[in-house]
């Protein structure tokens, strides 16, 4: 009986893990940018930002408007995650700080 229950429960568990993601490339370091991920009205418990690339000096990321700043510089390959209960959009804040050039590939996701 336990096996039947697990087999019936498995599809519901897989369908409940909805992942929304979007890729952004930043090459303009002249001003701060608000990165927004449209959640299409679906509820997500966590959000994440994956950053890969290289910059000539310091940049920082904020996961929300009141969150601590995460300072990054040089060659970057990192992921930040946090809890989120939003349904409309997930906002991330990018600040060039002292950087003037570089290229960052950013993946925003909510799950």
Which CATH topology does 19-110 take? Jelly Rolls (2.60.120)
Question: Could you state, in order of their start, the residue ranges of all structural domains in the chain?
Answer: 19-110
At 10-52, the pLDDT tens digits run: 555 545 556 788 999 999 999 999 998 888 777 777 889 999 9
Cα angle for residues 103, 105, 106 (degrees, 5° grid): 130
- Residue corresponding to tokens 């993946």: 107
Answer yes or no: is pLDDT of 107 > 60.
Answer: yes
Can you tell me the mean pLDDT for 47-66? 93
CA distance 103 to 84: 28
- Kind and range of the H or E run holding 56: none
Cα angle for residues 44, 48, 49 (degrees, 5° grid): 145
Angular region, 41: left φ>0, alpha ψ -120 to 50, beta rest: left
Answer yes or no: is pLDDT of 106 > 60.
Answer: yes
Percentage of the chain lying above the pLDDT 90 cut: 53
CA distance 6 to 64: 38
- What 3-state class would DSSP assign to 12? helix
Strands 33-38 vs 70-72: parallel, antiparallel or unpaired: unpaired
Can you tell me the mean pLDDT for 60-68? 89
CA distance 76 to 8: 43
What pTM value is reported for the model? 0.79
């Amino acid at each position: 009986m336990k096996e039947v229950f697990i087999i019936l429960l498995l599809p519901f568990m897989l369908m409940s893990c909805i992942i929304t993601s979007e890729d952004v490339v930043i090459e303009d370091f002249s001003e701060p940018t608000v990165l927004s991920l449209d959640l299409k009205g679906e509820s997500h418990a966590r959000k994440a930002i994956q950053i890969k690339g290289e910059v000539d000096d310091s940049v920082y990321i904020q996961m929300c408007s009141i969150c601590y700043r995460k300072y990054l510089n040089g060659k970057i390959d990192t992921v930040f995650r946090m809890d989120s209960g939003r349904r409309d959009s997930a906002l991330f804040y990018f600040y060039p700080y002292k950087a003037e050039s570089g290229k960052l590939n950013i993946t925003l996701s909510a799950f």
